[in-house]
Amino acid sequence: MLFCAQTFGPRFENLSVKCRHHDVHECKKMAEKLNLFLAGFIAPALSSFKVSDLRMYNASRIVVKKICNKLTKMFARDCHLKVFEMPIAHWSNLEGQKVLDAVFRKSRNTLETLSIPEYFICQTGIPVEKDWFANGLTSLTKLTKLSITLFYLTDELIVSLAHSRRGELSHLTLWANWVFPRSPHVQQDSWKNLTEACPSMEVEFRIIGYVTDPHASLPPLFDSVLPVTKMKILVSQKYCPLPWPLQKMEIVLEHIRQHYWFRLKSLNLSVFNTKKKDFDQTLIKLVKDCPRLINVKILASYHSGDTAKTIERIVTQRRRTHLTSKGGPTKKLRIDSQPLDKASQTEDPMKRPPGPQETSP
């Protein structure tokens, strides 16, 4: 690994690393391997840096500091990045800010794509100085694609982003984990500022992890003015002492149908829900009333054995029409029913630490 870094590093233009962890609590090895790789890595031609799912919350502080020092020096001195993606890194506040600050400063006039959902270990808000974060984010003069933890955003930041990226921001992906009924959310007037400034922008929601009372927690996040084209809701109850089927999920589905029906193209839903006729009917109505919805993946508990077949028939027919008019390859369709005893054991797809955490500098 060190030989490759030293030998080929100067020629690298794109670096992409996907970390794979064998156990939810084993988060040391990937950080140690990345540190070893970076030890001899010099890449003055690097324009795209992608390291996903590093999850350093349990890594050695010494290793984390070494990674921070190397990346900070590399980004501040050598690189003019077009892409910086470091989702689910779980940086401590101090080191995470240093790395991001180097990216903001050196690549402010080149960075086009920024992906930092769960960049910091804190998942309940932005854990660093808000003005610094807002100034850095809005200083990026070429930014067109932003993927970020929803709770990092404030009303002031959204309004500033509307002014700084007017007509330029094309994709916004909003992530959330550990969602509660009292979780902070951006006000509608702020979202209006952004959507009016960037009328071509498409929005994707990724709710992946733990959600308390989805019927009360999620609708306030799903603002009606947002042009949502993709929706991913994977609710895990792995960390609940007594997992219980989610109640009133049909309220969430109806909210999505009412506000996003015209633009929604993709729906990925995995929930341990109560078997109810209302859930089945609301889900079918959602799929039926979204004319552009052709990518569907659902893992849920159905009241009727015909529900999955009905949804599959609707989407299949719509795809035939879509392919006839536009052409293109057929995409996968998956609509499954999961047994209640197995649904509650669904793993957190991102294998986060068991609970909201924050590390002090």
Q: How far apart are CA 347 and CA 22, in angstroms?
A: 13
Confidence label for 288 from pLDDT (cuts 50, 70 and 90): very high
User: Looking at the predicted structure, is the pLDDT value of residue 341 above 50?
Assistant: no
> 162 is written with which tokens?
């509307």
Cβ count near 22 (within 10 Å): 7
> Does residue 321 form part of some domain?
yes
Taking each helix axis as running N to C, give the angle between helix 307-326 and helix 277-289, from 0 to 180 degrees, rounded to the nearest 10. 10
> 179 is written with which tokens?
């969602």
SS3 115: strand
Considering the chain, what is the average pLDDT of its residues? 87
Burial level of 180, CB count in 10 A (0-12/13-18/19+)? middle
What does the radius of gyration of the chain's CA atoms come to, in whole angstroms?
21
> Does residue 44 form part of some domain?
yes
pLDDT of the residue at 97: 97
**Per the confidence metrics, is the pTM higher than 0.85?**
yes
- Give the CATH number, domain containing residue 42: 3.80.10.10
CA 341-346-350 angle, to 5 degrees, is 175
Q: How far apart are CA 156 and CA 162, in angstroms?
A: 10
Contact 175, 150 (CB under 8 A): yes
Confidence label for 356 from pLDDT (cuts 50, 70 and 90): very low
SS3 233: strand
Domain that holds residue 169: 12-343
Confidence label for 312 from pLDDT (cuts 50, 70 and 90): very high
Contact 177, 208 (CB under 8 A): yes
pLDDT of the residue at 358: 34
User: Looking at the predicted structure, is the pLDDT value of residue 344 above 50?
Assistant: no
User: pLDDT by residue (tens digit) across 109-142?
Assistant: 999 999 999 999 987 788 899 999 999 999 999 9
Confidence label for 240 from pLDDT (cuts 50, 70 and 90): low
Confidence label for 354 from pLDDT (cuts 50, 70 and 90): very low
pLDDT of the residue at 350: 45
User: pLDDT by residue (tens digit) across 208-218?
Assistant: 999 999 999 99
Query: Among 44-53, 94-103, 189-198, 222-231, which is the least confidently predicted range?
Result: 44-53
Number of domains in the chain: 1
User: pLDDT by residue (tens digit) across 9-57?
Assistant: 566 789 999 888 776 555 688 898 899 888 878 788 899 999 999 999 8
> Does residue 361 form part of some domain?
no
What's the average model confidence in pLDDT over 221-232? Answer: 98
User: Looking at the predicted structure, is the pLDDT value of residue 340 above 50?
Assistant: no
For the chain, how many residues are written?
361
pLDDT of the residue at 328: 53
SS3 57: coil
User: Looking at the predicted structure, is the pLDDT value of residue 323 above 70?
Assistant: no
> Does residue 150 form part of some domain?
yes
> Does residue 335 form part of some domain?
yes
Q: Which stretches does DSSP call E strand in the chain?
A: 14-18, 48-52, 83-85, 113-116, 145-149, 171-176, 202-209, 228-235, 266-270, 295-300, 334-337
Cβ count near 328 (within 10 Å): 8
> Does residue 350 form part of some domain?
no
> 82 is written with which tokens?
């077009």
Highest average pLDDT, of 113-127, 136-150, 237-251, comes from 136-150
For the chain, helix (H) and strand (E) counts, in that order, are 12, 11
Q: How far apart are CA 94 and CA 120, in angstroms?
A: 10
> Does residue 81 form part of some domain?
yes
> Does residue 351 form part of some domain?
no
pLDDT of the residue at 245: 81
pLDDT of the residue at 173: 99
Phi first, then psi: give them for residue 263, nearest 5 degrees.
Answer: -100, -20
Phi first, then psi: give them for residue 77, nearest 5 degrees.
Answer: -110, -45
Helix (H) or strand (E) holding 112: none
pLDDT of the residue at 355: 46
